[in-house]
Amino acid sequence: MAKEKYCVIMAGGIGTRFWPKSRLTRPKQFLDILGTGKSFIRHTYERFAKMVPAENFLVVTNRRYKALVLEHLPELAPEQVLCEPVGRNTAPCIAYAAYTLRRKNPDAEMIVTPADHFILDEEDFRAIIAQCAEFASEHDALMTVGIKPTRPDTGYGYIQVSDANPVSRVKCFTEKPNLELAQVFLRSGEFLWNSGIFVWTVRAIVAAFEKYLPEHHALFSGLERALGTEAEQNIVEMVFAECRAISIDYGIMEKADNVYVRRGEFGWSDVGTWGSVYQHARKDRYANAAPEKGCYLYDTRSSIVSLPENKIAVISGLKEFIVVDTDDVLMICPRAEEQNIKKFIDEVKYDDGEAHV
């Protein structure tokens, strides 16, 4: 069977860092947080649809979001949405897709992408992904995409490269560093941001699971045999109940000896926090990112404001704040303290359950 490109969109996250706009019932990937008129997952699909046919997409998500995926991506058939009964991090998510594809086309080339990233130069990005697919196929490599860092950001993982070539062998991965270490990484010139985008053949990633995560290989091989049968749902439940939660970086990429990175500079962000939204948003002369209508700002600077439609807000005297208003939750928080959002959610959940989460 001829090789074909397939795109796997990982869309199971709950986007807690965008609370209170992102909720359990409609998380970040299904929202238009940047005000473009399209959700993150829609942008992701359209970005890859120019190089991958609609029938070659798979979306892996929590089963509670299947209807939302099909609402935002009506081009897909229901069987193209793989539903996890519970989240187990990226390795089981990718395994579910890889073993599903192996049954369909064992020679497939597999592109794996999060559902909620921002790409400014999409043509350059697609050219780089095509180069990754070619290199991965020719060298039996596990490819990832690295971004040249522009600042010592503590919110990203880092990849150390072995040389300055466009494609380099990976020396090591480092999880989110503290500020001092991130500054060292930036000065060294040897580190790239880890985009979390991967390209490989199905054969290569299945071989990596068999070698480095053999317990996952055993579980998902069993799942593969049940696909399309009456036993599928029960087997999926069993596999995810038994498999260990682990990231693909920690489980495979940090251990394998055939891992390469393609560096890129195409205007990438994982848009992971309100702070990153602020960086990309259009701002007024006082550096505020706020709706053009309905928002009255006085003596307010360097703040981000998000409001529901037809809501009026009058804000005075804030400097570097996040203001997010929804129908049932109002959050006002200094931009420098947005890492506390998860703590806010925990306290709200403790007092009121999940009604406002």
Is residue 197 domain-resident?
Answer: yes
Distance CA 137, CA 152 (A): 33
pLDDT tens readout for residues 11-37: 999 889 999 999 999 999 999 998 899
pLDDT tens readout for residues 147-204: 999 899 888 899 999 898 999 999 999 988 899 999 999 999 899 999 999 999 999 9
Total Cβ atoms within 10 A of residue 151: 11
Q: Does 269 have pLDDT greater than 50?
A: yes
Q: Does 2 have pLDDT greater than 70?
A: no
**Could you write out the DSSP letters of every residue in 191-212?**
EEEEEEEEEEEHHHHHHHHHHH
Are residue 127 and residue 176 in the same domain, yes or no?
yes
Q: Which range marks the domain in which residue 230 is found? A: 5-269
Q: Is 103 helix (H, G, I), strand (E, B) or coil?
A: helix
pLDDT tens readout for residues 46-99: 999 999 999 999 999 999 999 999 999 999 999 999 999 999 999 999 999 999
Once rounded to an integer, what is the mean pLDDT over residues 303-310?
94
**Could you write out the DSSP letters of every residue in 270-298?**
---SHHHHHHHS---TTS-B--SSSEEEE
pTM (predicted TM-score) = 0.94
Is residue 38 domain-resident?
Answer: yes
pLDDT at 299 (0 to 100): 98
Q: What CATH number should be reported for the domain holding residue 38?
A: 3.90.550.10
Are residue 278 and residue 265 in the same domain, yes or no?
no
Once rounded to an integer, what is the mean pLDDT over residues 211-217?
98
pLDDT at 1 (0 to 100): 41
Are residue 166 and residue 288 in the same domain, yes or no?
no
